Amino acid sequence: MTEAAHEAAARVRVKICGVTSAADAAACIDEGADAIGINLVAGTPRCVSIDDALAIRRSIEDRAEVAFVVANDPALRASLHRRLGEAGAWMQLHGDETPADVAELLPYAYKALRIGGPGDAALAATYPGQRILTDARAPGVLGGSGATFDWSLVAALARTRSLILAGGLTPDNVSAAIHSVHPFAVDVASGVEVPGAPRSKDRARVRAFIAAVRGAADVRAPPG
């Protein structure tokens, strides 16, 4: 049974991305987050060092999944790949990685694709692995832009893959996103941050976001 089939009737999972400290990770998990994303993309606002990322990972223990976010860095990919056998650790590839790059890292990796139109959605479907993340295509950034996209473009993909929906989600719009896409999980970064402070999570907004997800009164459509 695929992950998508196994989870078809389960609640939508919540991933809080761009976590930069063990304290924020613990707070997010205490509020009900299922997964934490830790950014290792140099030059981005939420980036942490690999040592800090691994320290956050250790602090979480087995309380939630962890995804290390990387982009266009083969050396870092190789270094992390040796550590991904530990339970709950994933690599989220957010750059220009090819399907072949992803295939080399399975089963503990998945591709993040930026969606701006039907062609991007079609490209996403060509990547291997059960999980896939879709984010908004925004000029000059790889992710975390706070921009949304046309969710209907990836609704069909969510019926066959464990789709993680990202891109401008907030406590105010995540319920509508769930009803539109029926994703495996939703992913949020800027939508639960302290205003003007991208390295700090606002616990009240995290709580509101997770409450909105749980209150969506929806289950994902079973895969086709």
pTM: 0.89
96-131 residue pLDDT tens: 999 999 999 998 899 999 999 999 999 999 999 999
Task: Supply the pLDDT for residue 219.
Answer: 46
Structure tokens, 6: 């196994």
Does residue 135 carry a catalytic annotation? yes
Q: What's the pLDDT band for 222 if we cut at 50, 70, 90? A: very low
Task: Supply the pLDDT for residue 83.
Answer: 73
Q: How far apart are CA 54 and CA 190, in angstroms?
A: 22
Contact between 178 and 213 under an 8 Å Cβ cutoff? The reply is yes
**Segments in 87-195 forming alpha helices (H):** 99-105, 118-124, 155-158, 174-181
Given 30, 135, 150, 218, the catalytic residue: 135
- The pair phi, psi for residue 23, each rounded to 5°, is -65, -45
Q: Is 133 exposed, middle or buried (0-12, 13-18, 19+ CB in 10 A)?
A: buried
- The pair phi, psi for residue 177, each rounded to 5°, is -65, -40
The two most distant CA atoms of the chain are separated, in Å, by: 44
The DSSP secondary-structure symbol of 222 reads P
Task: Supply the pLDDT for residue 181.
Answer: 95
Element (H, E) at 81: helix 74-81
Structure tokens, 129: 């692995």
Does residue 17 carry a catalytic annotation? yes
Structure tokens, 204: 């009240």
The residue type found at 177 is A
164-183 residue pLDDT tens: 999 999 999 999 999 999 99
71-87 residue pLDDT tens: 999 999 888 887 766 55
User: How many C-beta atoms surround the C-beta of residue 9 within 10 A?
Assistant: 9
Q: What's the pLDDT band for 220 if we cut at 50, 70, 90? A: very low
Query: Is 80 exceeded by the pLDDT of residue 33?
Result: yes
In this prediction, residues 157-166 reach a mean pLDDT of 96
The closest alpha carbon to 167, from 193, 199, 141, 145, belongs to: 145
Given 17, 24, 34, 187, the catalytic residue: 17
Angle between helices 203-214 and 174-181 (to 10 degrees): 40
